[in-house]
Amino acid sequence: MPLTSTDDIVGPAYAGASGVGAFNVVQIEHAEAIVAGAEQAGLPVILQISENTARYHGALAPIGLASLALARAAAVPVAVHLDHAETVALVHEAVELGFTSVMFDASRLSYAANVAATREVTEHCHRADVRVEAELGEVGGKDGAHAPDVRTDPAEARAFAEATAVDALAVAVGSSHAMATRDAGLDFGLIARLRDSLGIPLVLHGSSGVDDANLAKAVAAGMTKINISTHLNRLFTRAVRERLLAGPDATDPRTYLGPARDAVASEVARLLTILAGR
């Protein structure tokens, strides 16, 4: 199946009030696991590569091109998305490589500067038929702390979306990045108000901190794209640790990375089913 536009995955989910899973790739085993899980579920999926991951690999191209190749060979629709890019240069590189969407994160800037920078990125990406996601209302920091006082204002979000022409918006509704526990308290009423106000798909970042029942409730309230990273990384690492403890003399990485890949694939399939409401 050809590489799929992010819009062709997110658009139907938005129209049908269902959810789409977007899972972060750290290394090629993650990308393989995510695609395998989507194939097991028979559902589309989005592979995400963050600016931090590109930095880890020394450049975006190595892991980006590998992910694009896996997407093109998949039996289900797969899109490839640049996540939390804070530099315009990286956005341009992703577009040149063939990514189908980007998330430009200028949320650290003032509102006016965020609008101006995001609008510039949107204009560039739309010329290449690449979709753009932005963020308004800081989602909790990378330390995983809850941020109960941080929320996206619906009126401001609508003005931001109209001023920037973005295709999707990540909003702050109670989740936090890098949470190790799944007990985040989401504001479902706010999600519904944002859905009604914006008219474009909403994105939930920090979804690793949200349990199964509340993921389903978030989708029902109006979330479309659900980003999950830390939860899968914990499963991956646990599987590696268990295999190495069971066989401390192991030298072939395939003997412990393979089982970790399988564990993530199974969880991706399960989560995609929940988000799709099946």
Residues identified as active-site: 83
Q: Counting beta carbons within 10 angstroms of the beta carbon of residue 17, is it exposed (0 to 12), middle (13 to 18) or buried (19 or more)? A: middle
The neighbour count for residue 277, using CB atoms within 10 Å, is 12
Is residue 47 a contact partner of residue 79, using CB atoms and an 8 Å limit? yes
The CA-CA-CA angle for residues 6, 64, 73, to 5°, reads: 65
d(CA 260, CA 40): 16
Distance CA 221, CA 188 (A): 6
Compute CA 137 distance to the chain's CA centroid, rounded to the nearest angstrom: 17
| Residue 208 backbone dihedrals phi, psi, to 5 degrees | -60, -25
- State the Cα–Cα distance between residues 9 and 3, nearest whole angstrom: 11
DSSP 8-state assignment for residue 167 = S
**Residue 54: Cβ within 10 Å count:** 22
Q: What is the rounded CA–CA span in Å between residue 100 and residue 95?
A: 7
